[in-house]
Amino acid sequence: MAAVCGLMRRPLEQVSGLLRRRFHRTAPAALQVTVRDAINQGMDEELERDEKVFLLGEEVAQYDGAYKVSRGLWKKYGDKRIIDTPISEMGFAGIAVGAAMAGLRPICEFMTFNFSMQAIDQVINSAAKTYYMSGGIQPVPVVFRGPNGASAGVAAQHSQCFAAWYGHCPGLKVVSPWNSEDAKGLIKSAIRDNNPVVVLENELMYGVPFELPSEAQSKDFLIPIGKAKIERQGTHITVVAHSRPVGHCLEAATVLSKEGIECEVINMRTIRPMDIETIEASVMKTNHLVTVEGGWPQFGVGAEVCARIMEGPAFNFLDAPAVRVTGADVPMPYAKILEDNSIPQVKDIIFAIKKTLNI
């Protein structure tokens, strides 16, 4: 009898336990995720989703990644999918492109984009141009990713920003994530894209945690390539940036807000194809434009934004010339005081905004 009662009781407890769980179930809370972990998650999810995806580069496998971005992936997926390469950028970038032509979906990591210069022929001539030259016969679904631009104290040969160089070339897509949501959504979109995509990450952002909203926690969360995001609404001036400087712009906006100046901060997210429409609509509202980037001023991303604004409907809405805040026009120096003054700081952004607004 007791045994039967016991049998009866247990299922009831289980049922009420289920009921309890269902009623107290909450939506996944926004997590704090670093940019590094966001990229890691994005790659992990895509590796799991599609067998044709694989990662190659220096130190990506057994070392867990020079900057630990690929931590844990080799342990999970093994030698076939996570491949350590010798120090042969031109060689392994070409191998990645060839593998993509033959139907795989490689992610080719450059330890920094400075080293991609050794392989740039493979990125441009073998990857970017091939679909066009072949009359649409040969797609090249390859992703080139790695840290881009200035780091801290790494001096001239390790600090160049390649946004303008890669952004120049038709056939390539070029994205530049700022926060964790950007990083995860863009790497996933890049991997699923059937075109060569350059993903310009930022080493100084890798360790920075951001709240990852619940929709970004889904395995199918994608950020469309070619769409900018308005990070902060404003009315007085449009401030456009990509990558780490987006954070500096938001800081500047916070400071200026106390003085009654409301900045609209736009995170470009994609360099090519550029979402000029979002910038235009914003400028038509605020009548002022400042662009901010880490790269050199001449022939840069900001120069392109300004040229396009001049060509489009927003020009007539400008109350002042568009202004660019960029890296200094020098090879990156080493000494801290010099380096600090070679990249745009919050004070430079504030200064440029006030100048534009004639304050």
Partner 1 sequence: MKKMLTAAVSRVWSGVAQKPVSRVLVASCNFSKDATFEIKKCDLYRLEEGPPDTTVLTREDGLKYYRMMQTIRRMELKADQLYKQKFIRGFCHLCDGQEACCVGLEAGINPTDHVITSYRAHGLCYTRGLSVRSILAELTGRRGGCAKGKGGSMHMYAKHFYGGNGIVGAQGPLGAGIALACKYKGKNEVCLTLYGDGAANQGQIAEAYNMAALWKLPCVFICENNLYGMGTSAERAAASTDYYKRGNFIPGLRVDGMDVLCVREATRFAADYCRSEKGPIVMELLTYRYHGHSMSDPGVSYRTRQEIQNVRSKSDPIMLLKNRMVDSKLATIEEFKEIDVEVRKEIDDAVHFATTDPEPVLEELGHHIYCDNPPFEVRGTSQWIKFKSLP
Residues serving a catalytic function are 89, 158
Give yes or no for residue 273 binding partner 1 (CB under 8 A). Answer: yes
| Shorter beta-carbon distance to partner 1: residue 90 or 284 | 90
CB contact at 8 A, 295 and 243 = no
CB contact at 8 A, 100 and 140 = yes
Picking from 300, 342, 352, the residue whose alpha carbon sits closest to that of residue 151 is: 342
| Shorter beta-carbon distance to partner 1: residue 226 or 297 | 226
What DSSP element (H or E) covers 292?
Answer: strand 289-292
Query: How far is residue 201 from each of residues 184, 262, 269, 334, measured CA to CA in Å?
Result: 11, 28, 11, 22
DSSP letter at 245?
H
Q: Residue 119 corresponds to which amino acid?
A: A
The footprint of partner 1 on residues 165-184 (CB under 8 A) is 170-171, 173
| Chain CA centroid to CA 301, Å | 15
Give yes or no for residue 139 binding partner 1 (CB under 8 A). Answer: yes
Q: Which of 39, 61, 69, 83 binds partner 1 (CB under 8 A)?
A: 83
Give yes or no for residue 278 binding partner 1 (CB under 8 A). Answer: no
Shortest distance, CB of residue 94 to partner 1, whole angstroms? 2
# chain residues binding partner 1, by CB under 8 A? 45
CA dist., res. 179 & res. 216, Å (int):
12
Picking from 268, 262, 304, 267, the residue whose alpha carbon sits closest to that of residue 287 is: 262
Q: Which of 33, 38, 54, 306 binds partner 1 (CB under 8 A)?
A: 54
x/- letters, 305..344, toward partner 1 (CB under 8 A): ------x---------------------------------
The footprint of partner 1 (CB under 8 A) covers 54, 80, 83, 85-86, 88, 90-104, 106, 121-122, 125-126, 130-139, 141, 170-171, 173, 194-195, 226, 273, 311
